[in-house]
Structure 1
Amino acid sequence: MSQSSTARTALDRPVIAVAGLGIESSTFSPARTEAPAFHPARGTAIFDRYPFLAPGAPLREAAEWHGALVGKSLPGGTVTAAAWQALTDELVERLAALPALDGLWYDIHGAMTVEGVDDAEAVLLERIRATVGPDVVVSTSMDLHGNVSRALVHRSDLITCYRMAPHEDHMETKERAVRNLVDLLTTGAPRPVKAWVPVPVLLAGEQTSTRIEPAKSVYAAVDEVEAAEGVTDAAIWVGYAWADEPRNRAVVVVTGEDTEAVARGAERLARGFWDARADFDFVAPTGTYDELLDEALASERKPYFISDTGDNPTAGGAGDVTWGLTRLLERPEFQKEDGPTVIYASVPGPAAIDTAVAAGVGATVTVTAGAAVDDRHAGPVTLTGVVHAIRHGDRDAETEVVVRVGSVYAILTRLRKPYHHEHDFTDLSLDPRSADIVIVKIGYLEPELFAMSNGWKMALTPGGVDQDLVRLGHHRISRPMFPFDRDMADPDLTARIIPASDQALTGTEE
């Protein structure tokens, strides 16, 4: 009889490994992601990522921990086949060199697209299972914008994701995944039942923020389902909208010891998401870029934030689309030094960085940046201005430079970087709170920016993460799918009970 239906042996101090690769990969961006972008950590260095696994922390003391390899990249383009091969080969080799394991924490994002590979995270987990053996209990933690195939659920014993967007609960979610794993191993409980429900809805994260309805209520039900007797965890995945694979869609998974309870809970959550599908809307008012610039100039609310959404590097945009900065610099209102103060973040340009650094702060330079990767919407932008600030050593950008052109403070970087925190600006001698307008390549504002904004709208701009999903050209997703097929019939939202990972998976992907 399998371990899924019999009690496991309780372990005083189980042996657990940590491994995983995480990225959101837009298949609509021409960018490609190479191995160094994952900043892979190995061995004990992995634990520096997780405060709850710091030396002396209760969860650290509850098990014997081993780090294999964990790599996390900024969202970007498709991962190259060579990068995938190098990273996964090393991850598996490191796992093979560890002592016999009782458990594995699989820390991923869930939206990684690889050249020539569909469902990359499930494929990697299959390799991991072949290496560590079928008896090892796997707990998978994910972003709610990840994709959850039937195969990924089958190969995981426990699986969970964030419940907030923006992801203010990201570390809490990882800790929950680890705690559930440790509890299962130390109590000897059987592997849980898993109820999986694919929901044929694919929406952008900016349309499903849990700050507002209906996502606020849809996700509030997760806690209620999890609190039911016989349920260990409950999760709703929105899915990743800017990749084109059969697995991309919303999904619900509920795990626990009681088959009826997990099925009932999963169907409740799936029905709640489906019923709300037409009510999801953008988290902020939207408009064209020029419309929003006009509104910001007319507004007395400062600082007025504009999200340049189409090239958001934290959603998978190439980050070097120059369309927004080019149009900004063309506006006569900003061409004089005493015009309204605008901060624009950001455009990569290694050659521009070299020129500005050589000239130094205070020098006037003419530099060209951007469109080295994504030139579909505008070519490289050339600007002449004064070097306002230079900063070296950023983890993502490496070197940052601010060039003032008229009243525009344009941030240029050696490598692409998201700007989410106030210190991202103040470190560059910029004060976003006193600016008239702050334009950031982002979708919904991250918490610090949201808190400081006195006005905010989202510009529907072009790029690899265009918010107009229907016009992007998906052709591999499972159809029918809302909003691509608005008049589709109600789907089958019956819970599919997925067997434990040590049993054969029957049936095909739905």
Structure 2
Amino acid sequence: MRIFTAALMTETNTFSPMPTGWAAFEEFGIQRGRDGLTPTAITAPLLMWQAAAERGGHEIFHSVVTFAQPSGPTVRTVYETLRDEILRDAAEQGPFDAVLLLLHGAMVADGYDDCEGDLLTRMRAVVGPNVAIGAELDLHCHVSKAMTEAADLLITFKEYPHTDGMERAQELYDLTLATARGEVRPTLGLHDCRMVGLYFTQAPRMRTFVDGMGMLEAQSDVLSVSLAHGFPWADVADNSAKVLVYTDGDADQAGRLARDLGQTFWDMRDDVAFKGVGVDEALDRVEVAAPGLVVLADTADNTGGGAPGDSTFILARLLERGIGSAALGPLWDPVAVGLCHEAGVGAALTLRVGGKACAASGAPLDLKVRVRGLIDELRTPSYNADYVTLGAAAWIEIEGADVHVVLCARRMQGFSPMVFTELGLDVAALRVAVVKTYNHFYAAFAPIAAEIIHVAGPGAIMGDMTAIPFERRSLDFWPRCADPFAEGCLRGL
């Protein structure tokens, strides 16, 4: 059997002013399988597929493998060039029996609201109707009609934080090859929950729901079950939570199970949807908290959701309220990092920090600081234990405030306490740590935190789902509508 693979991944916040161009993909590397794949977090699933193919006596061809940090829409020529190289490889190196694609599911480019649907549709035209096509998706994806019609299988992560990517990749490999051999006939049941939001799978009711999906998959006639959460900050028509159930040839069963699961998820909505607190409410709780580290997640400035990572809103309030024994990071500011490295450890200087990318970053802060630590490459494990780099970094202490900031040269969220500790800052000994992230930090910070608070403050990522200024996405969704399935639901707003 001959197998084709490729990976083209980014998550697009259509409200972000920062375009996703060549530099964004090159930052994480653009690999081409004909040259051999270097192990990274992005290539890991493809290398696993390669090992499985070799054990099974199959031939595998890797095309383009690349990823860009979430940001604004991808530049049209960048998307089209990468897409066309993948399609050209599929045409020139074929024929193939199976296609395995690692995609995100929420990639938007100039002129393309549904990059994955576009790529899958074109791939189907290249390889023909009888080739099995499977794609692994981030659960923060938009499932479109074009995607479901072109692919035999779409399988999303089940976990947020995304700790199960390799498990889902193995599932995709096994089912796609079984489809290619004619052993199974994946039949999709799809249910649109008409919900826009964020849902943390460590929460008790979400944990039960996710475990229930796994129990359904244990039935012999159920091939795969996914909940696509959707990515709220994308103004595209298919932005919505959707349930996907694949059975072996039983369309009625697939549809019924998808509807039943969708109803269960709908019934949980008030308990599982993200509810953050304001900046001052979070700092009020810090001031009265029992001893121990309080971790505040600055969700509005999470680079993993397309925010710049350089907002100053919470830092300014820490200083205005005189709350010390505090750390904040990672704050993206390559200019400030460069000045700190030039000055050296121990240097005192006046430094302009943050607030550079856009209005959602807030105002820059002019601070008197001392450089406490420097590193040429700050590395930290991500949610799946693979290491990511934040580039050059600096630890500064704000004079007279007992407030510490970690500055980084590469946009990255704060996955782990190593963001602080690698520079020598013992964050666990402090009163409060502000981490620029949404939920991927949770597992690493929970062991050292007395309390964790998700902050929905100002920034590029709006925590109030009813306030997202959609123009292309219709407004008939919960929580904007109490019942988005009712005719004329928007009239009650």
> What TM-score, normalized to structure 1?
0.86
Task: Measure, in 2, the Cα distance between the counterparts of 1:453 and 1:426.
Answer: 15
Change (3 A) 1:83 1:384: farther
Q: CA deviation at 1:307?
A: 1.0
Aligned to 1:193: 187
Select 2:4's aligned residue among 6, 13, 17. 17
Cα distance between partner residues in 2 of 1:111 and 1:264: 26
2:411 is equivalent to residue 416 of structure 1: yes
Displacement, 1:141? 0.7
Partner of 1:97, secondary structure, is helix
Question: How many residues of Structure 1 are paired with residues of Structure 2 in the alignment?
Answer: 466
Question: Tell me, what secondary structure is at the counterpart of 2:73?
Answer: strand
Q: Is the 8 A contact 2:221 2:248 kept in 1?
A: yes
Identity across matched positions, percent: 27
* Whole-Å separation in 1 of the counterparts to 2:472 and 2:49: 46
Shift of 1:154: 0.9
Q: Is it true that 1:320 corresponds to 2:313 in the alignment? A: no
Q: Contact 2:11–2:306 (CA<8 Å) still a contact in 1?
A: yes
In structure 1, list runs of 5 or more residues that go unmatched: 1-13, 335-340, 492-510
The verdict on how the C-alpha distance between 1:51 and 1:115 changes in structure 2, with shifts beyond 3 A counting, is closer
What's the counterpart of residue 3 of structure 1? none
Match of 1:427 among 414, 418, 422: 422
Matched, 1:146 2:141: yes
1:75 maps to which of 70, 94, 114: 70
CA distance in 1, matches of 2:45, 2:97: 22
Higher helix share: 2
Q: 1:328 to 1:96 in 2, by over 3 A?
A: farther
Counterpart for residue 296 of structure 2: 306
Shift, 1:158, TM fit: 1.2
Kindly state the Cα deviation for residue 47 of structure 1 after the two structures are TM-superposed: 6.2
Task: Tell me the equivalent position of 1:257.
Answer: 248
Structure 1 residue corresponding to 2:172, chosen from 161, 177, 180: 177
* Matches of 2:240 and 2:49, distance apart in 1: 39
Q: Tell me which amino acid in the other structure corresponds to 1:465.
A: I
Which amino acid is the alignment partner of residue 322 of structure 1? T
Instruction: Give the structure 1 partner of residue 367 of structure 2.
Output: 383
Shift of 1:135: 2.6
- Counterpart position of 1:4: none
Matched with 1:50 is 44
Query: Does the aligned pair in 1 maintain the 2:142–2:239 contact within 8 Å?
Result: yes
Q: Which has the higher contact order (CA 8 A, sep 6+)?
A: 1
**2:206 corresponds to 1:215:** yes
| CA offset digits 1:173-213 (Å, max 9, x no partner) | 1221112223333x43254212222221111x2xx112224
1:57, distance to aligned residue in structure 2 (A): 4.1
Amino acid across the alignment from 2:209: V
Tell me the residue number matched to 1:401. Answer: 394
Match of 1:261, SS state, is helix
How far apart, in 1, do the equivalents of 2:249 and 2:13 lie? 38
The answer to whether the aligner puts 1:450 opposite 2:435 as a matched pair is no
Of 196, 199, 215, the residue aligned with 1:202 is 196
- Please give the per-residue CA displacement for 1:289-338, whole angstroms capped at 9, x wherever unaligned: 1222232133223211011111111122121222222222333343xxxx
* AA in 2 matched with 1:373: A
- 2:325 equivalent to 1:356: no
1:371 lines up with 2:355 in the alignment: yes
Cα distance in 2, alignment partners of residues 392 and 365 from structure 1: 20
- Deviation for aligned residue 1:56: 8.7
| CA positional deviation for 1:278 | 3.2
> How large is the Cα RMSD of the aligned pairs?
2.2
- Structure 2: which amino acid aligns with 1:26? N
Q: Distance in 2 between matches of 1:296 and 1:447?
A: 21
Answer yes or no: is the 8 Å Cα contact 1:47–1:54 preserved in 2.
no
Partners of 2:277 and 2:188 lie apart in 1 by: 42
2:479 pairs with 1:483: yes
8 Å contact from structure 1 (residues 311, 317) kept in 2:
yes
Q: Aligned-pair distance for 1:438? A: 0.6
Are the structure 2 counterparts of residues 52 and 90 from structure 1 closer, same or farther at C-alpha, using a change threshold of 3 Å?
closer
Contact 2:354 2:361 (C-alpha < 8 Å) held by counterparts:
no
**One-letter amino acid of the counterpart of residue 218, structure 1:** F
In 1, the alpha carbon distance for the partners of 2:76 and 2:298 equals 30
Structure 2 alignment gaps of length 5 or more: 379-387, 488-493
The yes-or-no answer on 1:274 pairing with 2:266 is: yes
Aligned match of 2:160 in 162, 165, 175?
165
Q: Deviations over 1:201-234 (max 9, x none)?
A: 111x2xx112224322332321232223322111
CA distance in 2, matches of 1:316, 1:60: 37
Displacement of 1:387 in angstroms is 0.8
